[in-house]
Structure formats: C-alpha cells, structure tokens
Structure 1
Amino acid sequence: MAKKAFKGLGIFGGTFDPIHCGHIASAQSVANWLNLEKVLLIPAHIPPHKSTSDKSPHASSTQRASMVELVCQQSPIFQCDQREIARAGYSYTVDTLKQLKQEYPDNVLYFIIGMDSLQSFTTWYHYQEILTLCNLVVNTRPNYCINQLNEETKALVHSHRGQIDNTDSNDSVGQILFADPIHIDISSSQIRQFIQKEQSCQQWLSSEIIEFINKNQLYR
C-alpha cells in the first residue's frame, strides 16, 4: 500500500496587538520554505504568559481578530482562526493543537514561534505533549546563537533539532526547526509607542491596518 502523502499546515499564534509586517513576512517565509498550503493565524484571547495588567492586550480580542482578518484578505495562504478567542479562559497551545490534529488528520502541523518563545518553551503548559503533536518552527533573529539559550532549552534543542528533507511525505513530528532570519526589527509594543507619539508606522503596517487603527482610535 502506498504511503499516505502528508501536507503541511502552518500555525502562527500571538496577540497580534497589532499584527505587523514582521509577523506577515516571517509567516510567509516559513510557508515558502516548508511548502505549506495554508497558515492559520490564531489571535490569542488571554495568553497565560501575558496575563498581568502590564502585558495584557491593548486592543480588544475582536479588534485584534479584525486586523488579522484584514491581513488574510490580502493573501490567500493565510486564514484567521478565532478558536482561542471563542474559548473561555486562558489560551493553551496544547489544547489548540489537539483540536487541529483532529480537524486536519492528514496534515503535519508546523507551529511557528519566535526566539523569545523558544527560550521560555520548557515553562509552557504540557510542553512535552506539544512536541508529540507538531514540529516547532523557530523564527530566528540575525546573528542568533544557540549558546544564548538557557541550559534546559539547549538540551531540548539538542534532542529534537531536525532537518527538512523537502519531501511531501515527511510525516514526522517532534522536530525543532530553525528558519532563516527575517531582517525586520520591529515589535508590536514599539509600534504602539510610535502611534501613541503620533509617529508614522507606514513601513511596518499595511494601509488597511493603519486605517482600522485610526478609525477605532487604538493605541492612543
């Protein structure tokens, strides 16, 4: 019997407060690299690691999802998935991945995270189980160094680091893959500060997002 061909599904979660060109470029780059047919952009409702008042989202969950939807309208590969916003309580990655694995049984899940998230990954809720459900794809920074990671994370990377063989039948999970760095040095918090100071953000935000932010008087 011929082996079932698995296809890749990208999963990119975050507060997206607001979603910016760094998010978009890194997700698109990973999709191109792994030949993904779709990338789900999943706005978080209450991220456990951002539940304190100083780190909680500034725009409402509905507003953040609306901005993600605007981005998805510009690129057919992206799809806004609002399951975490609809879910009561904290947004745990492992719960989302379990649901997605049931909904996409013939897809290998590629969960896209940043270097900051990798650094704290061993503190995530049921992180060991996460690696039984997907491959981690780490968006690196220019001049990143594995030695800068804490010892627990370095050990995890050492035992799970994988390589892409560029075949459509690669159905393995539990790999940690490092994507090439995207040279866009911007964060949502910096953008919020620029908007508050009435400074231009045209180079980091699409015109649709800028229009939405202005219309809703966000981050003032």
Structure 2
Amino acid sequence: MNNSTIQFEFLFGGTFDPVHYGHIGVIEALTQLSPDIPIRLLPCAIPALKSLPQTTFQQRVEMLELGVSNYSSVIIDQREQLRSKPSYTYETLEMLRQDYSNKRFFLVMGMDSLLSLKQWFQWKSLSQICHLVIVNRPGVTISQAEQACKACGFYLEQTFEKVTLYPVGRCFLLKMPEKKQSSTEIRHLIKNKRTLDSMLPQSVIEYIRNNHLYESE
C-alpha cells in the first residue's frame, strides 16, 4: 500500500458508565500526541470481563456526547450496540479493518488492561491487526512496560513516530498526569449524594441528575 494513502486512527473503548475526567484526560493526551489523528470511541454494549453497565447504551452514548463535545477529532462509534453477545475487541477491530482497509489502528488502553490482556478473546492475534498505545500508571517503569508488551506479542518503541512506520505489532507508552477518577467510585458517590464537581464535566453531572442515574444499586 502506498504510504500516502494510509490513515491512522486511535481506538478507545470502554463502558463509559459514566464518562469522567479520567477518560477525557486520555483523549486530551492523545490529541496532544498527534492532533491530526481521529479518536474513535467505542462504547461497549455487553462487557466480556466486567459486570453489566447500570445505564442503557443510549444513555452512555449521550453522556459521551456531552463529555467530549469540545473535541472535534472524536468519533463516537455505536457499532457494538448491534451485538446480542459480549463485545470482543478483536472482533470489533476486524470489523473496522474491513470497513476501513486504508487505516492503521492504535488500540488505547491503560497499563492495567495490558497486564490482563491474556484474558481477552483472541489476545494472541491482536498484535497482527493493530498497534497499542498504553497509558502509564504510577510506578510502572519502561522496563516493566516493555516486558508486558513483549509478553503479549508487541514491541515497545521509544517514540510514537517510530510506531507509525510499521503496519501492526508495535506499542507506545503514553505518559500523562494521573487521573484518580473511576466510574465505580463515581457511581458510589452519586448513590451517597456526594459532590462530583471535580470528577465530571458539569454537563454530564446535570444529565445524571436530570435522569436520576446511579441513585440506587
């Protein structure tokens, strides 16, 4: 394939139940890493390794739309809503590769997800269809990241530009300020009527309140 026709895209999946500043921080870091590369958000309909979301798929999409409204490079892809079985990242990637044969994909995940990657469906095949962008976690060294990437079939590159030279199988460690927010913690705070101002965009907080989300288990 002629390199001039190749396009790149970040893929960032999750339940987003709800979207919070931790997610948005990753989007901001990706935008700074490469402003010209679109970020495709893939809200998960039926998680394979987590409990079911507490809100509907459409509610989570609407919260995402509110939370990322300032980022013109973000695409919210709702294809996983069409599935009646658990969402597998490998299958979604294969679908995207069929739909966009001229694109190379960078699958974005936290270091904790990388460490559990061997639990994923068809994990050994991921290095044959995409690159990884790993978001750092406190205390993780370059050596640890390199070993974790290698164990999953990926080769860690020191620069993102080097990753783009290869079709698949490379990994880049994205260093960004730590965001302590978690969706689990936020749902707990809402149930207990605690403040959320430092954890979520105000538009998402208002949506949650107006729709009485997460007020009970």
TM-score (norm 1): 0.87
Structure 2 match to 1:207: 202
Distance apart, 1:85 and its partner CA: 1.6
In 2, distance between residues paired with 1:208 and 1:107?
Answer: 33
- 2:39 alignment partner AA: V
Contact preservation (8 Å) 2:149, 2:155 = no
What are the ranges of 5 or more consecutive residues in structure 2 without an aligned counterpart?
none
**SS of equivalent to 2:189:** helix
Structure 2 match to 1:65: 61
The equivalent position to 2:91 in structure 1, one of 92, 95, 101, is: 95
Q: How does 1:1-220 map to 2 (within 5 A)?
A: 3-50=3-50, 55-145=51-141, 153=148, 155-156=150-151, 160-164=155-159, 166=161, 170-220=165-215
In 2, distance between residues paired with 1:65 and 1:38?
Answer: 18
Contact preservation (8 Å) 2:11, 2:39 = yes
Contact preservation (8 Å) 1:111, 1:136 = yes
Q: Which moved more, 1:3-12 or 1:183-192?
A: 3-12
What are the ranges of 5 or more consecutive residues in structure 1 without an aligned counterpart?
none
Distance apart, 1:6 and its partner CA: 2.6
Distance apart, 1:27 and its partner CA: 2.1
Contact preservation (8 Å) 1:6, 1:169 = no
Count of residues in correspondence between the two structures: 214
Q: CA RMSD in A?
A: 2.4
The 3 A distance-change label for structure 1 pair 88 and 202 is: same
Contact preservation (8 Å) 2:163, 2:171 = no
Contact preservation (8 Å) 1:110, 1:134 = yes
- 1:11 alignment partner AA: L
In 2, distance between residues paired with 1:30 and 1:48?
Answer: 26
- Amino-acid identity (%): 30
Distance apart, 1:160 and its partner CA: 2.0
